[in-house]
Amino acid sequence: MTDNYFELFGLTPSFNIELATFETNFRKIQSASHPDRFVTGTAAEKLSAMQLATLANEAYQTLKSPANRAKYLLELQGITAISDTNTAMPTDFLMQQMEWREALEDAKAAKDIFALEQLHAEIQSDGKALQANLIDLLDIKKDYSTATDATRKLIFIDKVCADINKAIEHLDN
């Protein structure tokens, strides 16, 4: 059994993965390792099925998120994109983050769902552009250093989007 997440799902390690194959192969592993199939199995069979199910879940969660998939691809190259001690980001990017955060606070205070949705769409479009860039950097150019910067940015963008969604949900209730 491989411990490479891509190989587990029969995929070539790349950022631009074949989503249909990814989903189908995940479901196949899920059903093949389901505990119900091992009710009469030996302890060793039960254990190995459980380990496979756990690995498949971890792999699925990692590869499903573009930011985590990029981070994992970089890890396979021996690059740690995210470390607690590296807090330097381009100033203009951080300024943009601050502006988005301020816009989020304002829209939240005004209970303005429309403004939140607009902000979310604006940030998502930056996220999509970064993802397109990552296909080029990781799969084609193999420029891992620039890809690391883009991955770090994508993680910030995901965080703001998640916070906006939380604010929208909160207002919806």
Partner 1 sequence: MAYSDKVLDHYENPRNVGTLDKNDPNVGTGMVGAPACGDVMKLMIKVNDAGIIEDAKFKTYGCGSAIASSSLVTEWLKGKTVDEAYAIKNSAIAEELALPPVKIHCSVLAEDAIKAAVADIKAKQLAKASA
* Tokens encoding 89: 């980001």
* Tokens encoding 79: 């690059």
- Distances in Å between the alpha carbon of 30 and those of 20, 45, 59? 15, 15, 12
Which single residue is written with the structure tokens 């573009």? Answer: 66
Positive or negative, the Cα torsion across 95, 121, 169, 62?
negative
Select the span of 6-14, 22-30, 53-61, 157-165 touching partner 1 (CB under 8 A): 157-165
Does residue 152 belong to the site contacting partner 1 (CB under 8 A)?
yes
Which one of residues 49, 52, 55, 155 is an interface residue with partner 1 (CB under 8 A)?
Answer: 155
Cβ distance 70 to 147 under 8 Å? Answer: yes
- Nearest distance, CB of residue 24 and partner 1, angstroms: 32
Closer Cβ to partner 1, 85 or 145, answer by number: 85
Does residue 72 belong to the site contacting partner 1 (CB under 8 A)?
no
Select the span of 10-18, 40-48, 57-65, 152-160 touching partner 1 (CB under 8 A): 152-160
Does residue 156 belong to the site contacting partner 1 (CB under 8 A)?
yes
Q: How many other CB atoms sit within 10 Å of the CB of residue 86?
A: 11
Q: Tell me the residue type at 97.
A: Q
Which one of residues 16, 30, 65, 97 is an interface residue with partner 1 (CB under 8 A)?
Answer: 97
- Nearest distance, CB of residue 55 and partner 1, angstroms: 24
Closer Cβ to partner 1, 19 or 110, answer by number: 110
Which single residue is written with the structure tokens 């740690």? Answer: 80
Does residue 87 belong to the site contacting partner 1 (CB under 8 A)?
yes
How big is the chain by its Cα radius of gyration, in Å? 20
Cβ distance 6 to 12 under 8 Å? Answer: yes
Does residue 70 belong to the site contacting partner 1 (CB under 8 A)?
no
Q: Which residues bind partner 1 (CB under 8 A)?
A: 81-89, 91, 93-95, 97-98, 101, 152, 155-156, 158-160
